[in-house]
Chain A
Amino acid sequence: MASQIVSAFGAVIAGVFACALYYWLSDKLLQIVLPVRSGDVQRISANLKTHAAIRPWLFLGPALLLMIVYLVYPVIATFILSFYDRSGGNFVGLANYWWAATDAQFRQSIFNNILWLAVVPAACTFFGLVIAVLTDRIWWGNIAKSLIFMPMAISFVGASVIWKFIYEYRGADGTQIGLLNAIVQFFGGDPQVWIAMPIWNNFFLMVILIWIQTGFAMVILSAALRGIPEETIEAAVIDGANGWQIFWKIMVPQIWGTIAVVWTTITILVLKVFDIVLTMTNGQWNTMVLANLMFDWMFRGGGDSGRSAVIALVIMAAVTPIMIWNIRQASEDRGGH
């Protein structure tokens, strides 16, 4: 154990050192091969120009390499693999796509993903907005925000254990140690196995993600609310608008852009939801979602790269509109010099 700590520590130092060494050495090499400190003026000026042309690529090199190997190439490879069989060796045309179109579990996953997409981003944004408005109006608002934001630091697996304990079921006659069943019993209801109730169990899993992500929505929306110009509110007050009208007709329209950012960010997260379903139900009781189905096919019976590639591509297709929108936004307000 101690040796592992030492080797981890060593890896950090070696990694950082190697990185630093690369940038330092490549810069030194450039200086030696194309000197700019001495020599005739024309030569220096020519060398300086070459420096300016080469340096950006030296700086960008490692980052580009990593992104190409780990992101760009795999996207293309996954696309190609979706036309091949389980081992990736034989071309099968559209067979994997046909499988997806006719597979019941795949349809179930799509249906569940749509349910998640319909509920989670809306719930997080709504609760986040309400809590942001409420906490902005009290003196201990920052403490409250901190507490609501805190689940964001908790892993999905940790959160799943936390909520599995809340949903715990101990037989119809046993003492209920799960909070939800204890409350139900207190009000005279019958305890239920919450995570095994088809359709509804999806919502019990969604609660976990809402619990985690509402804080994120709240933080972003709270900052946007503070940026609303005072005059617009004052004008509405003078015109006799009440608090409700001011909120819906003056404040919300002015933060539309931010609401869209929050909504899309959570949408992307929802499309990739994996850990929660894996740890809560592992896709049983009709809770399967795309990311879990894909993981399942990656390893099921030795793995089927063709079918899991198709599932990955479906997730990719769903995020593509958001991706294009992001790129548009980023190129509109591009900084830089």
Chain B
Amino acid sequence: MTKDNSEYLILRGDNTYEVVIGLEVHAQVTSNSKLFSSSSTTFGAEPNTQVSLVDAAFPGMLPVINEYCVKQAIKTGIGLKAQINKRSVFDRKNYFYPDLPQGYQISQFKYPIVGEGTVILDMPNGQKEVGIERLHLEQDAGKSIHDMDPQNTLVDLNRSGVALMEIVSKPDLRTPDEVSAYVKKLRSIMRYLGTCDGNMQEGSLRADVNISVRIKGSDKLGTRCEIKNVNSIKFMQMAINYEANRQVDLIEEGKTIDQETRLFDTKKNETRSMRSKEDAHDYRYFPDPDLLPLEVTDEFIEKIKADIPELPDAKKKRFIDQFKVSAYEATILVSDIDTAEYFEEVVAKMGKNQDIKLAVNWITGELFAVLNNKNLEISESPISAKNLAKLVNLIKNGTISGKIAKTIFELMMDGDKDPQIIVDEKGLKQESNPKALEALIDKIINDNREKAIEYKQGKEKLFGFFVGQAMKVSGGKANPQLINDILKKKL
């Protein structure tokens, strides 16, 4: 494998293989009720307590579509810069499984609600455009539980009928990093739009990964395998890594790759075949006669368009223009709607004499580290944007040093304390009075006469020693810039 992470190539003997990846992302539509029934979609309810007669497919029960889910799909389509189809059709995908009560899933096969679009990825070596093939609405299935009872499989239909958007990419992805960036970008766009919460732990976002390999430079697609239902980015990357190498090995051994559905075993870190070939599915898609074609007007679409918020790409551009942050910083700040909002709130709260660069450093540095450590989302940040803005201002106006700020930051986490109050209570205000500092430094030089002479003789490293002493004696409160200046003068 090559080291350059912009390329992901597999070398075997004289052959160099590239990996071709396409994703089918299943994103749960954010809505109160299900796609075709009025039961709740809330996560984590007691088994079978959010199941209506429609969801459990009782005889004579009929689907009635949720308008909000239609709007959410169109909204997402607009966010993906995609074609919105004014006429789409719901089909039945027929197969038997205990968690599929109707014996078919209502989906969109020939005529999806959203057609081709694009997503732009910010990769370290530049931008990459990934094509969207389509987005369609469909029902989620229930949950089969295999490990609660040794003889039986138990079925919970709470999820049955929840609206999903299946977003199908073109086979434009080439590396695990691109896959990661793609999923994150999709997630980000949908979170901006409020169409999917993107919560992978709760299964709101999962993907089927299509992988094939080919000799680099070839324009023919190899036989692909589909890895079903991978529910984290890390697992997607692991699965791709395993599967691509498995396929290359098969080719190198002169064997053929079977087009099949595979499962990623997260414990063994391998993919394995899910269904034997004789069980190959024939889904017998046909238009659902209980539903008519879904027709939306231009007016309906325009109304949704008017509601679209600023999306990551536009926000990034604005951040660069308005706040003069670097492209790299902007990418990080806009990657998640909550981060972007937090940042903008910090900027707003800093007021006139603001240091945006410093604010960005604090957000992406200290704050991110803490969130990461505590496994928190920025929306759950123990420090509010208002107080972080105050902290940054205290540094900027010289009230505290960066070093003291770190101590204050730690203290702020306890109940989102106001940094000004901490400074006052603990007397942490920075010593910036030149006279006081001069006196302090005179004393240090006096106490360390020999070292001062050594320094003057050219041992410049000792400068740091004096700075350290000054900070130590002042209890960290001395203004470091002034200490530097005074020391240079005195020594």
A and B: bona fide binding partners: no
